[in-house]
Chain A
């Protein structure tokens, strides 16, 4: 079989002188099963071209590309007053938590005694310590008087009770 025509076509193909029709002839030739050995090195080129011509885009290609390049739709989100101030509230809550923790730590570690009174609210009546001293001593004396009177009444009551018990025992005898 004479392959001169094919060889010429190949020669012209490399010179970029072949027409579309001639290139189609070449592709058809190399798609055959039996190819002479000296033309075999060219086969892959034309088989590849043939195969690539059959590759087609899928039906949803356009949709996919358009979806990929279209700008995303940003929907406006309605912000409520609460959600707007949420970061601020979170910060305030954290500050309150830390202050409370510090307060508790201070009370636990530095409390000088058992006293748990809020002395911060105390407003002194006197500015002069001498007047405060006089009021204090008079109050202490009143408490002292109260203790003594209570104790005296308690002891007289117990004596009276004891006497009544003795009387009742002697009557029964």
Chain B
């Protein structure tokens, strides 16, 4: 009886253990690192943001409504080193994240990864390196392909 209860408890704990987003994982693996700055916007703050009366930004607010949280990590030193380390963390969690898009040239690199659950994108991670600057943008929420398309359109270069 005791063994059954113990096994049941352990399995329940494994179900109830909460996941960590990429930025939290990366930050945890770099504790204490004073070079990294973290900006966090929690679900509660997201709700407050949604209550803001912002004029002419309906599309942006509609996109924000799909987000639950944001974490932003930045550093202005050793960008290349952090970028490689972040890629390593993503590789370690390759069963969790799948590559979505990437960009590479001499001065900058982008890597966009997504975590999907039941066909919805629940986490979007963008690693960005520009010279020595390194940024991780980490959104969680309920994002669809339509969301990504609209997001891309928001900054789409206008062709003349």
Contact = CB atoms under 8 A, between A and B. Distances in A.
A111 B157 CA distance: 39
Interface string A111-149: 001111111011111100110110111011111111111
A26 B157 CA distance: 140
Contact of B157 (A101, A115, A122, A148): A148
B154 A141 contact: yes
B31 to A, nearest CB: 13
A107 B52 contact: no
B97 interface: no
B152 A148 contact: yes
Given A96-B9, A136-B70, A145-B155, A117 B19 contact: yes
A146 to B, nearest CB: 4
Q: Name the interface size band of chain A.
A: 35 or more
Contacts of A122: 40, 42-43, 69, 71
Interface residues of B, number: 64
Contacts of B24: 121
Given A129-B49, A136-B64, A136-B67, A118 B19 contact: yes
Given A137-B60, A146-B110, A148-B155, A154 B19 contact: no
A158 to B, nearest CB: 14
B20 A100 contact: no
A153 interface: yes
A114 B60 contact: no
What are the 7 A-B residue pairs with the smallest beta carbon separation, nearest first? Answer: A118-B18, A150-B101, A144-B155, A122-B42, A129-B48, A114-B117, A150-B103
5 contacts: A113-B142, A122-B40, A124-B40, A129-B51, A140-B63
Given A123-B40, A150-B112, 16 more contacts: A97-B8, A100-B13, A104-B12, A113-B122, A115-B140, A122-B42, A125-B38, A129-B45, A135-B39, A135-B70, A136-B41, A136-B64, A143-B137, A144-B153, A146-B103, A147-B112
